[in-house]
Structure 1
């Protein structure tokens, strides 16, 4: 079967690899001209890692992933440790170690494994049509491509979404802006094998280890949508937002080089919906379930999409439309649940309901790790990869 995948991100490329491994003729089209992903890194929890293992990338992912053995929350103002505990139970309960990874390195690995000769960059999709014989994609340069199936993994601002669902889905601003990037590991910020998070005033400063003796940092600042920012300002907004915070936070801000690794992203999500397929066309990843990063499941959920899509193509052969419909039914409920779980978590941690956030801070000071670990494992429980969990 001939298949077009729109989008060379994590979800699109992993889906393309899965379909290619089943013997299908797959081509990826993406509007980017080179591998410059939005966001410096991402957290691959066991459900996401298991998909990559299934795609034959276990050794490569282990090499890219940071060694994250512990987790700790610190008071953002004083630097006092509120709670610290081992992440070993996550691995023991799920059967797989989690790995924070640099996004560009993961994306390049997936693109290389799929085959760069089968990826057409600089191609912006502007339309989709289909009939009984196939589906046709039209690109901004006027060219078209036709296949038996189109999988649109074209991101949060998907053009394919409205075509598939028949309606516009307005994204919802989450209430905060995220700054992220990569810096060298600095023990003043946190141990090299620990996910360290400073919290206070509804704000968050966190680092995770990735390969190459680096920290992936992500910093959340509650603020209105559309707050002005000029890249020439560099870290000035962060220095203002975190003035007077703990020495570890100051050390992190000093280490950030805005010229090489500082991204700023307003965080939006989508209300869950369940129409993911229309005939020979289906959506995948952020196009289908754009979420906030508050439970670290965005990329993992896209990888679950790829896993289920591959299973459906391997086991259902009545028609392309039937296969895609089964994929949508198998995925939309769980993916939507994760979107709402992340939204709830954002409210708890970012001070949108001050009493709730203060209660969370109080709870962290007596937390043994049990409740947080239950939540982390709970995000994986119910994954299609979690046989035996």
Structure 2
């Protein structure tokens, strides 16, 4: 049975859900409050479980071509001394797919083109919805309404529709650190062009990840993490000086990176997450993406889990022959525990990396010095192989 589906939010999760539902034969309209789609953040590390979803939706070749070749991984101390370096090929062999770090703008455009711009309405905010026996009626800030059989809530970590679906408020929790992220031209004096390099020390981190696709000028997806109190000043004109102060004395590649950033193109984000939710559904409503499981980015799984949500929701509707209630229950069973555990693990990793318990962070640095990649890739493979397309 063909359903009319209203997707609120045109981010990675909303567009992936729209595409999966379209391909399952449903009529889908995507609506977002922003007047222009501007990706939040410079890039996204789409790990193998996310790439598998994109491949199943027919975007695999395009994503592979637009993404970086991340062949190995290294950790270094803040002064540039090696801690560990290993090939990621054993991980890729085990899970059957390489990771695809990609510019957020590039991935968002691929998804938008696949969904069809005519199926996406921008500059319209959904303020509420109500359910009745025949479907859902959504209300928008211009006074208009739209009816559908199902509403998909994919409007991000600040979602108010999530609270409407669940019947209670959901508070965001500050994870204790600020992240600056940006794209820079990739050059060997910063890091090898096919290696994900991370410098760690003083509970801070600097990361450079290859993200350019075939035929493009090579770029790194770079970020800087610093534990800071919530509400510290956010002034783009001061970003370079602020980072130079936080990372004074760090290795020469870090200093060169700070010199080369474009503050106007940089995002500065106070990292928050939400407590794992007990359910991801309401009456005729599915919650997905950051609205369902806003998490710290320390496992690189936020976008990937949104893609998994989209795939699982579409398959649940298939399996239930579009019985919305049964499909939503199946979606909930498949996703609640998985995303809840990843939110928790991402929080634990964020705490360890950023010094919530300084003794644990020191112990982690010591572990890295003894690491041959087995433990790190083991954790990655566990996450990847727990997905719906393992």
Short-chain TM bin: over 0.9
Larger displacement relative to structure 2 (202-211 or 360-369): 360-369
CA-CA distance at 1:23 after TM superposition: 1.3
SS of residue matched to 1:234: helix
Alignment of 1:181-192 (within 5 A): 181-192=182-193
CA separation of 1:318 and 1:7: change in aligned 2, threshold 3 A: closer
Work out which of the residue numbers 352, 368, 372 in structure 2 matches 1:368. Answer: 372
Moved over 2 A (4+): none
C-alpha contact 1:164 1:275 (8 A) present in aligned 2: no
What is the aligned length? 384
Q: Does 1:337 pair with 2:341?
A: yes
CA separation of 1:151 and 1:198: change in aligned 2, threshold 3 A: same
Partner of 2:129: 128
CA-CA distance at 1:318 after TM superposition: 6.2
Partner of 1:28: 30
Partner of 1:243: 248
SS of residue matched to 1:235: helix
CA separation of 1:363 and 1:137: change in aligned 2, threshold 3 A: same
Partner of 2:223: 218
Alignment of 1:258-337 (within 5 A): 258-259=263-264, 261-317=265-321, 319-337=323-341
Larger displacement relative to structure 2 (183-192 or 197-206): 183-192
C-alpha contact 1:35 1:108 (8 A) present in aligned 2: no
Consecutive unaligned residues in structure 1, runs of 5 or more: none
Consecutive unaligned residues in structure 2, runs of 5 or more: none
**Alignment partners' CA distance in 2, 1:281 and 1:368:** 45
Partner of 1:209: 210
**Alignment partners' CA distance in 1, 2:363 and 2:296:** 22
Superposed CA deviations along residues 94-143 of structure 1, whole A, max 9, x for unmatched, are 00011101011101110111000110000111111110101011111111
SS of residue matched to 1:66: coil
SS of residue matched to 1:253: helix
Superposed CA deviations along residues 190-238 of structure 1, whole A, max 9, x for unmatched, are 1000000000000000011111300000110100111112122232211
Alignment of 1:113-152 (within 5 A): 113-152=114-153
**Alignment partners' CA distance in 1, 2:355 and 2:322:** 50
Partner of 2:98: 97
SS of residue matched to 2:370: coil
Partner of 2:196: 195
**Alignment partners' CA distance in 1, 2:96 and 2:175:** 33
C-alpha contact 2:44 2:104 (8 A) present in aligned 1: yes
Alignment of 1:62-77 (within 5 A): 62-76=64-78
CA-CA distance at 1:164 after TM superposition: 1.2
**TM-score normalised per structure 2:** 0.97
**TM-score normalised per structure 1:** 0.97
Work out which of the residue numbers 13, 24, 35 in structure 2 matches 1:11. Answer: 13
**Alignment partners' CA distance in 2, 1:126 and 1:153:** 13
**Alignment partners' CA distance in 1, 2:129 and 2:237:** 39
C-alpha contact 1:202 1:357 (8 A) present in aligned 2: yes
C-alpha contact 2:317 2:323 (8 A) present in aligned 1: no
